[in-house]
Amino acid sequence: MSKQLLIYGRTAPITITSHKDCSVQTNQGFAFAKGLNSAPLVAVEFAAAALDMAIVFSGTENAVFPSLILGLRDGQNLFVGADGEWTGNYIPAFLRRYPFVFSDADQTGRHNLCIDEDFEGLNREGRGERLFDSQGVRSQYLTSMLDFVTSYQGHYERTKLFCQRLVALKLLDAMQVQFAARDGKTSALAGFFTINRDRMKAVSENDLRIMFGNDELELCYLHLQSLQNIDKLTLRGVGAST
């Protein structure tokens, strides 16, 4: 499943025909993300997320994207409590935009705003925020979510360019984290990449100038600094159920 659709079940374009009477109850918590052990992160979020969460790069050697590590094993999210509430200090925009998402671009390059019709807060009983008013006009809530998703999509595309530069400069190494599991045995978290500090120092002056000018150099160091938060994550995992 694509990075854009990790938590989505049954997405459908929002139309007046299909959703005129629909409302979205927004206080549903984050139980929908309880099985997500990582979440995509766009570049503009690095500074806030890096304060207490670990930023890595997931994907393949030729195509990566930033992610926050949320759990130490598949199906585990250590930032969602038993009550479904978020327990971390920062909530990724990827989760905040749910249940909305853009479709892939069509032949004209246009994206359609979609909603996850499996979202339990979607209803036709008037609970929460209406998508359209009685005249079929887009509600203020839907307009604000469209603006949010549009902004997110722009940052998503910008972040892909940053990642393409990291790959082109061969700055990424595969990495794994060793940690003590609940039963006392040593386990490993793998399948992600981090920037190699030595190769970062060897980047050409011209490339460094470009990266400094577009704030990509700052992103690199925010990522490297954030790796210290892996220790905080393993502490969260102590005693967590499997």
Whole-angstrom Cα distance, residue 181 to residue 26? 35
Task: Phi first, then psi: give them for residue 68, nearest 5 degrees.
Answer: -95, 135
- Residues 12-27: b if buried by 16+ CB within 10 A, e if exposed: eebeeeebeebbbeee
The whole-number pLDDT of residue 187 equals: 74
The residue extents of the domains of the chain are: 3-236
What token pair was written down for 182? 């609940």
The whole-number pLDDT of residue 28 equals: 85
> Which one has a higher pLDDT value, 94 or 74?
94
The whole-number pLDDT of residue 3 equals: 42
CA dihedral 175, 1, 143, 120 (to 10 degrees): -110
Sheet of strand 11-13: strand arrangement: 11-13, 113-116, 100-102
User: Percent of the chain beyond pLDDT 90?
Assistant: 79
Which candidate, 237, 48, 32, places its Cα nearest to that of 119?
Answer: 32
Mean pLDDT, the chain, rounded, equals: 91
Sheet of strand 186-195: strand arrangement: 38-40, 63-69, 55-60, 186-195, 172-180
The whole-number pLDDT of residue 181 equals: 62
Tens of pLDDT, residues 16-68: 999 999 999 988 899 999 999 999 999 999 999 999 999 999 999 899 999 99
CA dihedral 198, 187, 228, 165 (to 10 degrees): 40
The whole-number pLDDT of residue 188 equals: 78
- Residues 156-193: b if buried by 16+ CB within 10 A, e if exposed: beebbebbebbbebebbeebebebeeeeeeeeebeebb
Query: How confident is the model over 121-127, as a mean pLDDT?
Result: 96
Query: How confident is the model over 72-98, as a mean pLDDT?
Result: 94
The whole-number pLDDT of residue 2 equals: 41
129-130 and 11-13: which strand pairing? unpaired
**pLDDT confidence band for 184 (50 / 70 / 90):** low
3-state secondary structure of 161: helix
Tens of pLDDT, residues 218-228: 999 999 999 99
Tens of pLDDT, residues 139-164: 999 999 999 999 999 999 999 999 99
